[in-house]
A = this chain, B = another copy of it.
Amino acid sequence: MSSIIVNMTLSVVSVTVDLVLLTIREGKLQVLLIRRGIPPFEGAWALPGGFVLPGEDLGDAAARELSEETGVRPAHLEQLGTYGSPERDPRGRVITVAYLALLPDLPAPVAGTDAADASWRPVPFTGLAFDHDRILADGVERARSKLEYTPLATAFCPPSFTIAELRAVYETVWRTRLDPRNFHRKVTGAAGFVETTGESVIRDRGRPAQLFRRGSATLLHPALLRPGLGSAQGGRSATDC
Contacts and interface: CB of A to CB of B under 8 A. Distances in A.
Interface residues of A, number: 60
A233 B149 contact: yes
Q: Is the interface of A mostly helix, strand, loop or mixed?
A: loop
A130 to B, nearest CB: 15
B12 A241 contact: no
Interface in A189-241: 219-223, 225, 230-234, 236-237, 239-241
Interface stretch (A27-35, A47-55, A116-124, A168-176): A47-55
A82 interface: yes
A53 B86 CA distance: 10
A57 interface: yes
Q: What number of copies of this chain does the assembly contain?
A: 2
B97 A85 contact: no
Contacts of A222: 230-231
A74 interface: yes
B74 A10 contact: no
Nearest to A82: B82
A74 B84 CA distance: 20
Interface string A138-177: 0000000000011000000000000000000000000000
Contacts of A7: 1, 3
A49 to B, nearest CB: 12
B54 A95 contact: no
Interface in A68-116: 74, 76-79, 81-86, 93, 95, 97, 99
Can you list the 7 inter-chain pairs with the closest CB atoms, starting with the nearest?
A: A79-B239, A77-B241, A221-B230, A58-B84, A223-B231, A59-B241, A11-B52
